[in-house]
Structure 1
Amino acid sequence: MSGINQPDRNDVWILDENDKPLTITEDPKIPNAATIMMKKQDHTMGNMIRAQLLLDPSVLFAGYKVPHPLENDILIKIQTDERSNPADALKRACTLLIQQLTEVKRQFSQQAQRIEMGLAPENIAPLASQTGAGVGAAAYDPYGDGMGMGGATQGQDVYDF
C-alpha cells in the first residue's frame, strides 16, 4: 500500500510508451559539450556514468545532477576535446560499464555456485585488473588516497579498522 502522495512504484521507473529514454542537447556556447537527459534514472546511474566518463582521456568535463528530488530524471553534462564528441564518449562509457557489470555478475554467480557446492569461495582479484575494462580503470582512485582503498595500507583489508 502506498502513501497518499506516493506514486506507484512502476510509474517511477518504467518508461511510458511515448517516453524517450534519453535526449541529447548540444550546448551552443561551449564546443564539444552536450547535456543528456536520462528519463526514469537516479543517482546510481548518474554516478556510474560520470565516473566512467572521467576515465576517458578525451573527456574534459563530466557531471550529473538530479533536477528535482521527486522526479527520477538525471541530467549529465559532458564536454570532450576535439578527438571525440559527447555522444561517442557516452556510448564508450556505457559499453565499458556493461562489460564491467557482466564480469561482476559472472564472478558472483561463480562464487554462489562454489558456496552451494560446499566449497570455500576463491579469492577474486580486483575487477579492473582482470577485465582491463575502461581506459585507466586500474588507475582509478575513487577515495583519493593513492591506493583506492580509502586510507587502508598495503595488504590491509578495507574493512579492517
Structure 2
Amino acid sequence: MPGTEDAFDGDVSMGDVAPEVVQQAELETDEDPVLNEIWAKQNVRVLPGSSDTAASFEFTNEDHTLGNALRYIIMKNPNVEFCGYSIPHPSEPKMNIRIQTYEGTAFEALEKGLDDLMDLCDVVEEKFVEEREAFGRQ
C-alpha cells in the first residue's frame, strides 16, 4: 500500500535460514581444505543457503539410481525431518539432494545414509553370490 512504512522495497531472501548462518556455513566448508578435498574426491558439493540442520548437496555424475535409493535410506533415519532429491536438468549429469533434520546435522544424516546404503548393497551382493553358488551346485 503506498505511503506505508513497511512497503516492499527490494528483494527478499526465500531461504529458510538467517544470512549470518549461511555465511558461517559457507565459511566452514570453504576454509577447511581437508573437507574440501574429501568433497571434491566424492564429486559432492554443498549448495549455497545451507545450514547445519538444513542443507542441499550436489552430486556430479549421479542420477535417479543413487538419488532415490539414498532418499529412501535417509528418510528411515528418525532424526531426519525431510529428504528429497531432484535432477535439475536431464542433459546435465547432476543430482541434488536436500536434507532437513530434527536433531544432528544434515552432514551427519548424509554420511549415515551413505554408510547404510553401502551396507545394504553389501548384503544384497552377499545374498546374490550365495544364491548363484547354490544354483551352480544343482
TM category (shorter chain) comes to 0.5 to 0.7
Indicate yes or no: 2:62 matched with 1:41: yes
Equivalent residue for 2:43? Answer: 21
Identity of aligned residues (%): 26
Gaps of 5+ in 2: 1-39
For residue 72 of structure 1, what is the amino acid of its counterpart?
P
Which of 80, 83, 87 is equivalent to 2:101? 80
Equivalent residue for 2:130? Answer: 110
Which of 102, 113, 126 is equivalent to 1:93? 113
Aligned length: 99
Which of 90, 93, 96 is equivalent to 1:69? 90
Deviations 1:106-159 (A, max 9, x none): 0000000011111xxxxxxxxxxxxxxxxxxxxxxxxxxxxxxxxxxxxxxxxx
CA drift of 1:21 comes to 0.6
Deviations 1:14-73 (A, max 9, x none): xxxx87610023635x77111100000000100011111111111111000000001121
Indicate yes or no: 2:72 matched with 1:60: no
For residue 43 of structure 1, what is the amino acid of its counterpart?
H
Give the direction of change, closer, same or farther, for the CA distance of 1:53–1:20 in structure 2 (3 Å limit): closer
| DSSP 3-state at the match of 2:47 | strand
2: CA distance, partners of 1:55 / 1:61:
10
Structure with the larger helix share: 2
CA RMSD between the two structures: 1.8
Report the TM-score, using the length of structure 2 for normalisation. 0.66
Report the TM-score, using the length of structure 1 for normalisation. 0.57
Query: Are the aligned partners of 1:26 and 1:33 in contact in 2 as well (CA < 8 Å)?
Result: no
For residue 81 of structure 2, what is the amino acid of its counterpart?
L
Gaps of 5+ in 1: 1-17, 119-161
Comparing both chains, which one has the higher relative contact order based on Cα–Cα distances under 8 Å and sequence gaps of 6 or more?
A: 2
